[in-house]
Structure formats: C-alpha cells, structure tokens
Structure 1
C-alpha cells in the first residue's frame, strides 16, 4: 500500500477513533460530580479559552490568570484563587489520562507493522533459498534484545491509576459507557501523587506492575510467534528477548539504596514471577484432568504455591524441576490424550525458559569514583596492604595496570568504612546468594558509570576476588558506562587495554567472549548538546566495534536511552535499523524509562508492537549489513564539522552566566524534589548550591520541558546547518540527509522535541530586564533550527511526515496549556511573595502542575 494512502487512512482513524471520542467522553467527564469540584467543570472550558487567547495576545501567564478570575469568578482572595487552580489541575490531569486511554484503545487500528521487515515475511520470501535461510538462522542465533526497566523519575502514574487506565482503555474499546462512567468517577477520586517520596522498593513494586501485567504476556507471545515461524522452516528456535531491572540495584548517586534493598527487590521479583506462573498453572490444572498426570500436577501445585505465597519457603533455583514436570505432562498428553491442551503446557514452559527463576535480571550500578574509594579502603587492610605501595593512587594508569595482580584474598577489616564503602562490599558478597536463589541471570552485571580508565574495571574485579568470589566462579559481567563526549572519545582505547589484559581476556572467554558496553545518551546530551551527543555515540560505537572485531569479541551495546529525543529516545527502532555493518547491532540492549514504559509498554498490544519493531529492526539491519554512508570520508568530515559547530554553540550557552539561574528562577527545577516521585535526589551534591555538573540529566531536561523550550533537544542544530549553507555545502548536506537513515532519524526526533516547544508562552520574557537577551538567544536558535530543518527535509511544518503523531502532540499540548500557565503564575508569584502560608501553597501549586505536563508528554520532551 502506498505510504501516502496509508498515512491518510491513519489520519482518518485518528480523527474518528481518538479526537472525536475524546471530545465526546471529555464532555461527559466535565459533568461528573466530584467532591469539592462544584462548578469546576463549567469554568474549565472558559479557562482553556482564556489561556489560549491570552498567550496569542502576548500576555504574561499571571496576567492571563488574573484577568480570568476578574472576568468569570467572584474570587479575590489568594487562598480561593489557588484552591480553584488546584481543582483545575485535578481535572486536567485526568483529561490527560482520558486521552491516553482513548488513544491506547485505538492502538491496534493506528499501528501496523511493516510486513516486509517481519521474520515471517523474510522466511517466506527466502523459503527456497537455502544459503539465505542458513544466513537467517545464524542471524537469529546471534540476535538478542534486552529491555531494561529503570526507576528514573519521570513515571508519574501510581499502580492503582495504571490499573484504572487499563480498565478504561478496555471499556472505551468496547464502547461500554456505563463502565466508562464508573471508571471516570473512580479516576476523579483516586490520588495521582505520593504524599512522601517512594522508597527504592516502592519504585520496584510500581515497575513490577508492567512486568506482571504486560511484559509477562507480550514477551511470551512474541517468542511463541518466533518459535512458530522458525519451526515452519525447520530452523532451530532461539530465545531472543530478555528483561532487565534497575530499581533496587542502581545505586549511582542514590543514597537510599543499600544491599538490603537489593536483596528485598530480588526476592520480590521472584515472588511476583511465581504468582504469574501459579496463575497460569491453575488454568492447566483446571483443563488437564486426565489420568497419567496426577502426580506431576500435584508436585507442580505444591512447588508453585509455596514459592508464590509462602514467605518462609526456602528459596533456590527450581526452574529445571518445573520444566521436568511440565515436560512429563506434555509427553503424556501427546502419547495418551491426542495432545489435548498441550499448548497450555507449552506456553508455561516457554515462559519459564524466558523468565527462569528471576523474571528480570537485576543490574547493579555504581559510580567509578565510589568504587575507587572502596578499592583504596581495601588496600589499607591486611593482607591486601602488602600487595600495593602506599602511593598507588598517585601512580600513572600504566603503572597501576602492572600492579593489579587479581589475587584472591580475604581482607581483615581493621576499621569500618563509610556507608558507600560498606554497601559496595556487602552487595558484592550478596550477589552470590541472589544467584543461588534465583539463578545466575538474576544478577550478573555490574555497571561502572563514569568509567574513565581500564583500571576502573580491573579494580572492581579485584573487589570481587577480595570479597567472597574466586577466579573460577566469577559469574559476573563487568559493564563500563561511557557518558561524556570526552569519555566516548577514549572508550575504544580503554577497551583495547582490557581486551589485551591476560586476566580479563580469560574472564571474557569464560563468559562466551561477550562484552556489554553501556553508552549514556542523557549525560552526553547535557554535556555536549543534541547533535554532538548522537554523533559522539555513533563514532564511539564505530571505534568500539572495530576494537572488538580485532580481539574477536562479541559486542553488545547497552544504550542508556531516556524517554525524550534529548535523552536518546524518540523513534528508537529507527536508530537500530539505520546501523551499518561497521557497528555491532545484533545484540540490542536499551533502558526503558519514564512515560516510555507506560506509553509504549502499558498494554500487551502496545508492548508486543514495540518489541516487534525493535526485533524487526535488528533482523532487517542484520540481513542488509549495508555500509553506513556517514563513514565515507567526505560525509564524516561534514558531520564532524556540524557536530563541532553545534557543540560550540551549546557549550557557549551552557557556560552563559545566566544559564543555571534562568532554570532556577523560571522553571520548577528547585521544587522537583517536592514532587515525591523518586527515591533518587534531583542533584548529586545533596543540599549544596545548584551546579550544572551536579544536576541530573533527567531534572535538566524536565526543567526545559516545563518551560516549553526543550533546549537540549535542538540547540545548536540550526547553527550547524546554517554554517554549512554559508560555506557552500548545502547540496552536500541534502545528499547525506537523503542517503542516511541515521541522520534522518536524528532530524525527525529533533523535530519532535521542537513540536513540544512553545516560545509564545514565555514571549513576555523578551522584555525582561534580567533574562530578555538570554531568552531572545534561545528563541532565535529555535527559529533558525526550525527554518533549517524544514528546508533540509522539504516539509512545510514540523513533523509533517508524521501527521498522526503531530496531531497527537498538538492535542496533548493544548490539554496541558493551562497547567503550564498555572505553573508560570505560581513561580512568578513566589519570586515576589512575602507571606509564608502563601509560599507553601504556591510551591505546591507549581509542583502539582509538573505531573500532568510530564504525563502528557509521554516521552517528556
């Protein structure tokens, strides 16, 4: 079907199934009699209209709101005004949920997989081509996809709201008005926020909702389809999908995570998994009531029930025992009962093969600076102290490499280390117990963030050998995380040193000669801007792939992608599909966080679709293995120049004396810690002065998205393109854009960020005495970038090639416009407020607006 026709059909479906239904159900929603919300539903449409007209007329947010209250209400007291604004927020938050549910209900109608990229199509097309089938089989054998759920604080819906959304989506799909009415009332009375910050275990429980309700089914369905497709052509099946988990294990900059937390989360994951298994088993037990299976059914019931519900149950890896009993039942069904209900048994076996005893692998992550401190602490104690000189920390990297001996030892700790040191040592010891209870894959990766040298990895290995592990039983994969532009440039040299180290080389051999390397999009964007971050990671992947090939290492890139394009998100599958043969791409690994979890994996249907998109991207990329044109010398030079120009522009902006104060005063940056959405602090230096280097990338990007300026998602792109045009290289830029899927994806995602920006909201700042020139600088780069991207892509408006996505974004932005204005109103009043009670109320008002704005963004910016 021609793309234009397909696009038109999607637009028609979106207008009829989403926009029309939302407007209909929203009118019903606004009349619901919520407690203390009298007249709010009547006033809200007038408030929407006032906000739109006020901004179009260039008014300040505070002016818009004050004029609304004067014109349409009798409220004059600050307390009454704030109270009504809170009620508006409650409604708008739920309007966002309603739109989510309506859109999700139409998901299968709006989203269709490109059939030509599916495994089924490729196999059918090459059914008579034995060499090609052999190539496909080899690719499938090597292909893998690991989705890692992280607790990064941009997931605002609590579990009970997620359950309502799921039920509401189903009711809308079934056109069940009675059920919708009840669910909308329930939604109106259900809190959307936490009264106190969640603990890491709370975060783990919230994310486990997705494991239990979507991934458990979606991953198994995908694997069943793969098994069926391969079996049809007598090809051996392969487990492709794996799940990872960070809550409870990611302690980088999070003082609230301890070894006990990690243990509790590992047990929680195991118990939830066995409850899922038990739920499936009850269906098997109800259906398979034949002779010959009674004993195995009784064994399985006893084992599964105890592991699912008995807190005193002794824990160990029982996955082999489960498979053995299920296979005996399967054999009996096939030989004595004509295979009746055998698919129920196959389904549970498939899930056990996928999730084992652990559900999702719990990654451990810690900063290299902390790990260096732990290594230094251990070196102070006997017998380790005899292995190293006292001035070890002052030695060069080369001298340290010669001294690291990987000797197993048991230190006698003379003094207690600080909390971080004690936690690291205890965690290293406890991982062995987790592997024994839940299986090796339950916890087998240690990620070193801010990795800057080979010794960061090798010293961590020594910490394992000094704290309960031996060389022969070191069932751990050590994963360096390269984040900044500078670190990415030196990453290949670091890995070359590691691959050449005899001990590390032997360790990799024991792990199947596989190396995972994590690359961080969020911090690289905060460090170097949008284009330089993407280009640095592209070049880093190219050089790291070359080094791995030189040493015959199978490389897997673990992409630390956030929700928005500014943190590596956007249309992620297109990035993987656009990789050339010069970049290792058969083992795809990526973080899934924030609204990306609920928007892309919030239902079984959407989870299946997005998992399929990624797998299909890996298959099509693996089969084509085309040369990436960005690596041609002329194209690479062009992109180098563009990235450097964008980098210079972004760094100049970042070093502007008003940069941090602009965010502090005009966005809710300082108040984000009051949102109670995360166990992780907003910044790394606790209560100290706000410094850019300590600010977390998520808070950084969130602050810009609150301003509706999304600077990290576009700044510098316009300058880079304009400079090439001035240099007479415009035809070259167009040529590489047309030839490179990778560059087109970067441009498309940049347009997405810009589509969620609206400088009209802050246009009044152009005349501001303090920030006027700074705002104008941001706005001019936005307009320049918009102009250059439209000229490059040949589109008349941003995202014109994605009309449905464009309309969805525009609708969401319109829904939350009043929230943005309320936030700016509260922040402006806070700057001039002297009343302590008003101060608290205004801060709460500003914080509450964050929830709806972020939820509406789905991938934040």
Structure 2
C-alpha cells in the first residue's frame, strides 16, 4: 500500500474521498438550508474565476447574486452568505476527519524518523549501545497551551473522532448520519470559555490520545532497544499551561489552578482504573486477583473522591504492581507479564500528576508585586531594608537572593497582583503534596531580560515559607535584545552563591525558555530564528563551562511565523554546539489536533521528535556544524532582514493597516480563548502589547503571512546584487538549519493569496503599503526558487502542498465573504449613526468567517 508515492496516496485517500463525502454533505435535506448546498459550488466557481479576472471580493459576491439570485433583498443575500459560512466550516471539519482517518496510509508509520527506522539505523551503524545510553538521558516534553488558535467545541471534536472511525470503515450510513449531525451542531460560542473550560477540553487529548501513544512508545523502546530491561528514564513527559499560565490572562485564578491540577489527577486515576479493571479479567490467578481487586477499588475511590483525597499512595501502587509482576514470573510462567509491564510503565510516565502544570507570569507584573511587598514588608522589622528602592542593581540582587519569610497573601487586597501571585506559589506547594513534585514544579517568567527578572520570583518562592523550593525558575527570553544578552544574565545567576546552591539541589539543571512568537513579531523571521540559535549556542557554551546542564524549552506555535513548521527537521538540524538532551516545546490550537489529535498522528509525531534528537546526537557525525563562512552569511542575511522588517514596522501605515484593513480587532470577539487579545487595556493599539496570535493570525486571514517571510527576499537579493549569491547557495547546501528555515518560509508563501486583497492597491491611504508587501512577497518567492532550484514552492513536499491547496480551495469562498464584509464595514463606518444595524450585521459576518479560516490552517503545523 505504501509503495506508491505519498502524493498519490494523499490524492486517492484524502482528496478523492473528500469529493465523494462532500457531495453527500451538500445534498443533505436540511429544511432551513434549501438550495445552500447546491449554490455553494457555484459560488466557489465564481470566486475562482473572479480573482483570475482581477475582480474585488464585493464585485465577485455581486456577480454571483446577479447570475443566480432572483432579485434578492440585502437581508436575503446576507442570510445566504451566513449559511455559506456555516457550510464551509463543516466542510473543513469533514476534510480534517478524512485526513485523520487516512493518516497512517499517507504517512509511512515505519518510515524515516520512526522508532523502527532509528533502531535499524543504529544496528546498521553499530551504535546500539550509544543509542541506549542516550535514551537513558534524553526526553521529549510537548507542553499543551491554551493559546486560542482553534475553537472547535467538545461536541464537534467528538463528531470528528466518530467521523474518523466511520471513514476508516467506509461506513456510508454512519457517515451520512454524522454529516447530518454536524450540519445541525452549533459551532459558534456565545460565551467566552473560562481557563478551566480550556483545560478540560485539552485534558481530553491526554486522556484519549497521549496516554496510549506515550506508553506505546515507551513499551516499544523497552522491548526492542533495551531487550525488556527498565529504561530508567521517562523518555516522554507532558507539560500543561491552561489554568497555570497567568501571563496576560486575568481570568486565571489560584482556585482555577488548583481545580485544573485536581482534574488532571482525577483523569489519570480514571485511566489507571479502566486499565486495571480490564486487566483484572485476565489476572484471575491465586495471589494476584486479591491485589487487583484492592487496586481497582482504591483507584476508583480516588477518581471519584469529591475532596480529591488519594486513597492509595503512589509508592504503594507501584510496589503492588511490582509484586504482581514477581508473582506472574515466579508462579504463572510470565503469563500477561507484558500487560503488567505496560501498567508499570504508565505509572512511571504519568505518576499522579499526568502532566506538569507550569505557572507563568510576565516580569513586569513581578515588579509591581515587589513594590506592593515593599510597602508592607520594607523597613526596620520588615523582610526588606527601608532603602531597597534606592540601592544599586547589584545590591538589590544581593537582598533578593537572601530574603526569606512567610508572607500571607491575604494581607494584600484584591487590588494589584500581589495576592494572586503569592497565592499561586502556595498552590504549587499544595499540588506537590497531592500530585507529587512533578505536579507543578516550574515557574516561567515571560519577557525576562535581566538577573532581577529571575531573582524576583525566586525571592517570592522563599517568602512563601519555602526555604529550599522544589521548583525550577525558568526565564523566557523573547525579544532580539534580550536573546543577545541571555548568556550574560545566566552567567551572573550561575555565579550567584544562593542561586548556585539552588541549582545544585535541582541536579545542576537549568531550564530556559526561548520565545518564537514575540521574537518574530519583534525581529522578523530570519532574525528571530537566528537570534534564538545563537542564544542557544552562547548559553550552551557558558552553561557547560559551569557544569550546568541547560534544557531549552521552545515557545513554538503552529505556523512558521510563530516558530512552527517542520518541527522534527528543525531539531535534527541543531548540531553539537547546542545542548539537546531534552526537546521541550509548546503545542497549541490546531497544532494539537493536527499533530497529536489521533493516536496514529500522536505516535508518529512523538516518534519524529524522539528521532530528531537521536539523529542530531548520534547519527549526524558532525554534519550540522556551521563553518565560519556560513555563520557570516547567516548573520548578514539575518541583519539585512531585521533592518528591512524593522523599517517596515516603523512605516506610518503599519498599525493603521492592521486596525482598518485586517481582522485584528475581531479576534477579541470570537470567544475562542479565555485571554484578552492584548496585554493592557488602553484603547490605543500598541504593537508591543499586542499578543502574537492575533498579530500573526490577522496577516494569515489577509492571506499575506507577512511574519513568515518579510525581509527574507530582500536579504538574499542584496547579496545577489553584490554578486555574492554563491554564499547563500553554499549556506543552503551546507546547513540543514537554514534549509529548514527556508522550507518553513515557503509554507508561509504557499498559504498567501494576494489576489484576495489586490483591490487595496487602489486605496488612497493604503495602496502604496499593500504594494510594498506584495513586492516583498514576489521577491522572496523568486529568491527561494532560485536558491532551492525548485520550479514551484514546496516542490519537495508534494503531499503537504496538495493538502494546503485543498484547504485553501475550501476556504476561498469564506475569505471572499470576509473581505466583502470588511469592505462593507469600512464603507458603513463613514456614517455609523445612520447605518448601525447594517454595520453590526457585516461585523458579525467578519467575526463568523474567522473561525473556518483559523481551523482550516491546521497544516501550518
């Protein structure tokens, strides 16, 4: 089955099936949607032809109604456009389900980057011992975040799962029923979800997907690479942000943090209980069945306990499972020992915490909290000296390093952030008591740019009666200037005696997070990626000097503009100058559902991540080392690109364009996520306060994916003009890192479609600005094709390209409607008092069209 090319497998198993099932869907007899299904393909055709003829979106919509309408009123036209939106959203779901169902056919589950191929390569190169040794240290940690880049409610996720199964079985009757159900199930969220709602919907993936996939991988490694011996390492562990990530989200409270931890604990108990119950039907032997009965009872009671009381300790559970294993080996010819091994592995992997709940807050908030603490605890009998505020930075660091106490968060009123911040630390203690240390043992500081940025929360921990905190303090360096000095900040911390002692207690390991999203927003595509690469190198070199094992945690989003793209290729390309003993990354929104949404895709993508670390460490044989000449070229390209992007951002039309011509201000109205779309409350739009998701998302809705390419073309063209294009070519041939960057940029270009907004070039205010973006798009495309030698973009990934094209085709009518509505809003805004009701209708149309577009871009991952 897998012998035919991947593109053919995609065409036969995804595209062809989509055409068949979509035609069933379009002919379903919905009373309230008569003729919609028949008219949508006609509208699609008019959109495609209209853009070829350079019509603008409103002209395309009008042409459709002239041709197929019977003099409809404006209300009738809008009603039909809203129905089209509903239909297209559901077509996206259908396409998702078909791609999920065909995942194991389109992707070779034993091919390159899978564990089987890793094992075979290690055997062929006689590196099995090295591989074992590395797997005893190496870890992969995907961390699910609540960043809102997808909005499917739970009911729709359920339909996708059922459709996936029905499509695999080709059960037409069931498929028809589910499509009918899909047509009648609401997608639109009237209420914003709470952070707890977000957590519950993501824990679904842990319970139904990761639990099975991670343990399956662990079992495979144990049996096939370690010959049945214990690995002695959790090769995969899970991280979780919803309910713990307070950065810019005022709705995350301590109560929610504790409830989420309890929900994670309850869910893992339920999963263990189900497994033990199933296993109990097999382990009916004397000496074993009594223990199984006791485990079943205690796990069930722990799962349903209202107070969250744990009825059996983790140590007790583990010793009973090991006891069962001994009895099976000694007295029952090892019957079902694999099943009990699987259970032991799961408990080793997930403990009672299931996933580590990270706490995150912005450094500017810590500064405010410190000021509040100084007011109450500064002075003669206080924790802080009275003159703290007038001290030098060095003196302040000295005080922060040595401060201790037991401050009660209740002393601070609900005004300000002191109470919330300190109580989140007490919550971490509470979670560690009930779920074990791994339940919550990382405090992440966003926008960290200094030693004080780390020492403030480090001091808060010890002011909460936690003299030797079992918590890792994790700085997140995001902007280009912060990345450039990150190694100096860390060196000063490593040489701080108190912090050094803390690191020794934590096994001389320091986790450091490096952000992509805000980095791209701040420095443009090449500079953000190169800035992070260089920061990793200098931090690695400096950490090795001090005997500290540094672990990098990457804030990767889905699209390349947020650090996403081909993740495993990216990690495989890093080379020996970057510490790579753990791969930790954030996963969010449609990246969760596309890369980890089913057991097949989750297993495949976790294996790819594992193998990328292995191939970088064991199989690369020094191939990933950048020469001085290549470094010089990369630095030059990044700097030209950075200047180009920075000048673009300073353009007087930059912010107004996003505000007036894009969907930026509509993101807050979608009710996708619980957090506000910007960090502060001021009416004035300030780029630094703007969150990366609405920023990158707005460019994506315009089909202009600027953050994924702007500056890349200019940088390469400048070297070409100097007659030095050979250097770019050399870098491309030598460096897998650079190749991966360019491939991901190509993905951004492939998803751009400038005819959609070509009408803007005639706009008095924004015409010239639109031309500026379009020219850089064309320049980047030309340069990328030149350096790669391709005839068209993504030539080396035909199946990925076909998937993008299919999705783009599905949403083209949706984008057309959205742009038409945006044009109407701009027009009606000239007279908002008179046009209030019509204005509201078109604004609602823009917001509603956001959903399908957001969900359709799932293969940006």
Shorter-chain TM band: over 0.9
Instruction: Tell whether the 8 Å contact from 1:152 to 1:593 is kept in structure 2 after alignment.
Output: yes
1:28 paired to 2:21: no
Shift of 1:7: 9.5
CA distance in 2, matches of 1:653, 1:814: 30
Change (3 A) 1:513 1:537: same
Shift of 1:438: 0.7
Shift of 1:419: 4.0
Out of 667, 684, 704, which is 2:699 matched to?
704
Partner of 1:418: 415
CA distance in 2, matches of 1:255, 1:126: 50
Shift of 1:185: 0.9
Instruction: Tell whether the 8 Å contact from 1:734 to 1:792 is kept in structure 2 after alignment.
Output: yes
Shift of 1:270: 0.9
C-alpha distance after superposition, 1:149-182 (max 9, x if no partner) = 0000102112221111111111111111111111
Partner of 2:78: 82
Instruction: Tell whether the 8 Å contact from 2:54 to 2:755 is kept in structure 1 after alignment.
Output: yes
Instruction: Tell whether the 8 Å contact from 1:629 to 1:635 is kept in structure 2 after alignment.
Output: no
Partner of 1:851: 851
Shift of 1:409: 1.5
Summarize the alignment of residues 685-764 of structure 1 with structure 2, pairs less than 5 Å apart. Answer: 685-764=680-759
**3-state SS, counterpart of residue 559 of structure 1:** strand
Summarize the alignment of residues 640-655 of structure 1 with structure 2, pairs less than 5 Å apart. Answer: 640-655=635-650
Partner of 2:51: 55
CA distance in 2, matches of 1:665, 1:235: 60
**3-state SS, counterpart of residue 232 of structure 1:** coil
Shift of 1:341: 2.5
Change (3 A) 1:384 1:223: farther
Instruction: Tell whether the 8 Å contact from 2:146 to 2:198 is kept in structure 1 after alignment.
Output: yes
CA distance in 1, matches of 2:312, 2:741: 44
Shift of 1:382: 3.7
Summarize the alignment of residues 744-823 of structure 1 with structure 2, pairs less than 5 Å apart. Answer: 744-823=739-818
1:681 paired to 2:653: no
Summarize the alignment of residues 437-836 of structure 1 with structure 2, pairs less than 5 Å apart. Answer: 437-471=434-468, 474-624=469-619, 626-627=621-622, 631-833=626-828, 834-836=834-836
Instruction: Tell whether the 8 Å contact from 1:645 to 1:720 is kept in structure 2 after alignment.
Output: yes
Instruction: Tell whether the 8 Å contact from 1:819 to 1:853 is kept in structure 2 after alignment.
Output: yes
CA distance in 1, matches of 2:412, 2:102: 62
Shift of 1:737: 0.4
C-alpha distance after superposition, 1:577-614 (max 9, x if no partner) = 00111001111100001110000111000000000000
Instruction: Tell whether the 8 Å contact from 1:117 to 1:619 is kept in structure 2 after alignment.
Output: no
CA distance in 1, matches of 2:312, 2:820: 56
Alignment RMSD, CA only?
2.0
**3-state SS, counterpart of residue 131 of structure 2:** helix
CA distance in 2, matches of 1:205, 1:374: 30
C-alpha distance after superposition, 1:456-501 (max 9, x if no partner) = 2122111111112122xx1000000000001000100000001111
Shift of 1:337: 2.6
C-alpha distance after superposition, 1:682-729 (max 9, x if no partner) = 111125222211110100000000000000000000000000111121
1:97 paired to 2:93: yes
Change (3 A) 1:415 1:699: closer
Partner of 1:305: 300
CA distance in 1, matches of 2:243, 2:643: 38
CA distance in 2, matches of 1:163, 1:348: 27
Change (3 A) 1:443 1:79: same
CA distance in 1, matches of 2:406, 2:254: 20
Instruction: Tell whether the 8 Å contact from 1:765 to 1:771 is kept in structure 2 after alignment.
Output: yes
Instruction: Tell whether the 8 Å contact from 2:576 to 2:624 is kept in structure 1 after alignment.
Output: no
Instruction: Tell whether the 8 Å contact from 1:378 to 1:384 is kept in structure 2 after alignment.
Output: no
1:327 paired to 2:354: no
Instruction: Tell whether the 8 Å contact from 1:223 to 1:240 is kept in structure 2 after alignment.
Output: yes
Instruction: Tell whether the 8 Å contact from 1:249 to 1:362 is kept in structure 2 after alignment.
Output: yes
CA distance in 1, matches of 2:574, 2:124: 28
CA distance in 1, matches of 2:490, 2:527: 22
Instruction: Tell whether the 8 Å contact from 1:577 to 1:618 is kept in structure 2 after alignment.
Output: yes
**3-state SS, counterpart of residue 402 of structure 2:** coil
Partner of 2:831: none
CA distance in 2, matches of 1:627, 1:128: 18
Change (3 A) 1:83 1:75: farther
Change (3 A) 1:60 1:557: same
Tell me the TM-score normalised to structure 2 length.
Answer: 0.96
Summarize the alignment of residues 395-406 of structure 1 with structure 2, pairs less than 5 Å apart. Answer: 395-406=391-402
CA distance in 2, matches of 1:529, 1:826: 30
**3-state SS, counterpart of residue 237 of structure 2:** strand
Change (3 A) 1:390 1:282: same
CA distance in 1, matches of 2:390, 2:785: 53
Partner of 1:381: 376
CA distance in 1, matches of 2:349, 2:646: 45
- Where structure 2 has 5 or more consecutive residues not aligned to the other structure, the ranges are 829-833
- Where structure 1 has 5 or more consecutive residues not aligned to the other structure, the ranges are none
**3-state SS, counterpart of residue 476 of structure 2:** strand
CA distance in 1, matches of 2:297, 2:148: 39
1:241 paired to 2:236: yes
CA distance in 1, matches of 2:9, 2:461: 57
Change (3 A) 1:375 1:625: farther
C-alpha distance after superposition, 1:370-413 (max 9, x if no partner) = 11222222223347764544453454422322333423223478
Change (3 A) 1:749 1:122: closer
**3-state SS, counterpart of residue 324 of structure 1:** helix
Select between 368-377 and 220-229 the one with higher mean Cα deviation. 368-377
**3-state SS, counterpart of residue 558 of structure 1:** strand
**3-state SS, counterpart of residue 418 of structure 2:** helix
Shift of 1:312: 3.4
C-alpha distance after superposition, 1:268-290 (max 9, x if no partner) = 11111111111112201222222
CA distance in 1, matches of 2:853, 2:66: 26
Instruction: Tell whether the 8 Å contact from 2:47 to 2:813 is kept in structure 1 after alignment.
Output: yes
**3-state SS, counterpart of residue 812 of structure 2:** helix
**3-state SS, counterpart of residue 241 of structure 1:** coil
CA distance in 1, matches of 2:687, 2:423: 32
CA distance in 1, matches of 2:401, 2:444: 22
Summarize the alignment of residues 254-269 of structure 1 with structure 2, pairs less than 5 Å apart. Answer: 254-269=249-264
CA distance in 2, matches of 1:252, 1:557: 20
Instruction: Tell whether the 8 Å contact from 1:92 to 1:815 is kept in structure 2 after alignment.
Output: yes
Shift of 1:832: 2.1
1:160 paired to 2:155: yes
Instruction: Tell whether the 8 Å contact from 1:582 to 1:628 is kept in structure 2 after alignment.
Output: no
CA distance in 2, matches of 1:126, 1:186: 49
**3-state SS, counterpart of residue 281 of structure 2:** helix
CA distance in 2, matches of 1:751, 1:116: 22
Shift of 1:93: 0.7
Shift of 1:348: 1.7
Select between 5-14 and 239-248 the one with higher mean Cα deviation. 5-14
Instruction: Tell whether the 8 Å contact from 1:579 to 1:628 is kept in structure 2 after alignment.
Output: no
CA distance in 2, matches of 1:350, 1:629: 34
C-alpha distance after superposition, 1:17-43 (max 9, x if no partner) = 111111111111101122411110111
CA distance in 2, matches of 1:352, 1:536: 39
Partner of 2:280: 285
